[in-house]
Structure 1
Amino acid sequence: MSVELNHTIVHVKDRWAASRDVGQVLGLPEARAYGPFAELKLDNAASLDFMDSKGEIHGQHYAFLVGEEDFDLILGRLRDDGRQWWADPFKRRPHEINHEDGGRGLYWEGPDGHWLEIITRPYGSGG
């Protein structure tokens, strides 16, 4: 048996602005229209399906496993955009990276209060 995440819906105020923001930081191709969604495809064939929502949006957490080179590129984009990032989800270590499980990781605030993270090693992988 094989179970894989295929997609998740990300509730936002403006699906196109939010998908562009996340896609630009991660270095992904522009989202495409799919029904009421702006579908941002990830490299493992899963997608973030951004959907316009009215009312209060409750921020969610989205973590992305990236390679070492991609980590450097993403960090560079955050720096170039003058964005804030943290080594921890509690915002105690601004403009730092963590080294959990022998890799590197960081967090930043995405559109509409969503909390985004990149890691180079899966949690619990040791190191």
Structure 2
Amino acid sequence: MAPPARRTELNHTIVHARDRAASARFLAGILGVEVGQPMGPFVPVQLSNGVTLDFMDAPSVHSQHYAFLIGEDDFDAAFARIREAGLRYWADPLHREEGEINHWGGGRGVYFTDPDGHNLELLTKA
């Protein structure tokens, strides 16, 4: 087996969407970040750690899970935006504890879905 690479980072991932621009705006709005300029078939949303989510139109979308580690103040702001938008949210990934957040590992977390059915998670402790 080869030794581990000295520097291995996730650079970007493609997120399938029915409407790439709308889905990018939705996530960026919840997270309080900017939507980048379209680049070819992608609409990018770059996170503070440099990872980019490249939203791309797709004829069918299969639900994926995306988790975002954020600070306490950012959690408060994002959670307020979730509630202001009237989105359903859950404390758990199986969506059994609706209208609740979790406090796992001494932090806070919440799950919600985007317009394409992706299961999104915000957490303050990894």
TM-score bracket, normalised by the shorter chain, equals: over 0.9
Question: Deviation at 1:35?
Answer: 1.5
CA contact (8 A) 2:28 2:35 kept: yes
Q: Unaligned stretches of 5+ in structure 2?
A: 1-5
Partner Cα distance (1:94, 1:39) in 2 = 30
**Residues 35 and 43, structure 2, Cα contact 8 Å, conserved in 1:** no
How far does the alpha carbon of each residue in 1:22-57 deviate from its partner, in whole angstroms, 9 at most, with x for none? 110111112321121001111111110000011x21
Partner Cα distance (1:75, 1:101) in 2: 19
Partner of 1:39: 44
TM-score (normalizing by structure 2)? 0.93
CA-CA distance at 1:111 after TM superposition: 2.4
How far is the alpha carbon of 1:101 from its aligned partner?
Answer: 1.0
The match for 2:31 is: 26
Conserved 8 A contact 1:12-1:112: yes
Superposition TM-score, scaled by structure 1 size = 0.92
Listed as ranges, the gaps of 5+ residues in structure 1 are 123-127
Question: Is 1:99 the equivalent of 2:103?
Answer: yes
Same amino acid, percent of matched pairs:
50
**1:1-127 matches, cutoff 5 A:** 1-54=6-59, 56-122=60-126
Q: What is the root-mean-square deviation in Å for CA atoms of aligned residues?
A: 0.8
